[in-house]
């Protein structure tokens, strides 16, 4: 993911959508499927961005 500044509401919306997708993918494919793991890692990246940008 390229380095850029995120708008707080945009970032929160992306996190929310990724969480919802993760639940759907895990329900469909199981917790250890490649697709679930990939989606989880993408969510981790978003959460790390949030933590770096908005933690005081």
Give Dmax (Cα) for the chain. Answer: 37
Q: Write the CB contacts of 31 (distance below 8 Å, at least 6 apart in sequence).
A: none
pTM comes to 0.85
Q: What pLDDT sits at residue 8?
A: 87
Q: 25-42 as b/e, with b when 16 or more CB fall inside 10 Å?
A: bbeeeeeeeeebeebeee
pLDDT in single tens digits along all 56 residues of the chain: 455 667 889 999 999 999 999 999 999 999 999 999 999 999 999 999 999 987 76
Q: What pLDDT sits at residue 26?
A: 98
């Amino acid at each position: 993911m390229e380095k850029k500044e995120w708008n707080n509401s945009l970032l929160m919306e992306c996190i929310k959508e990724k969480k919802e997708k993760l639940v759907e993918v895990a329900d469909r494919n199981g917790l250890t499927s490649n697709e679930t793991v990939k989606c989880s890692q993408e969510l981790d990246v978003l959460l790390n961005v949030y933590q770096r940008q908005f933690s005081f």
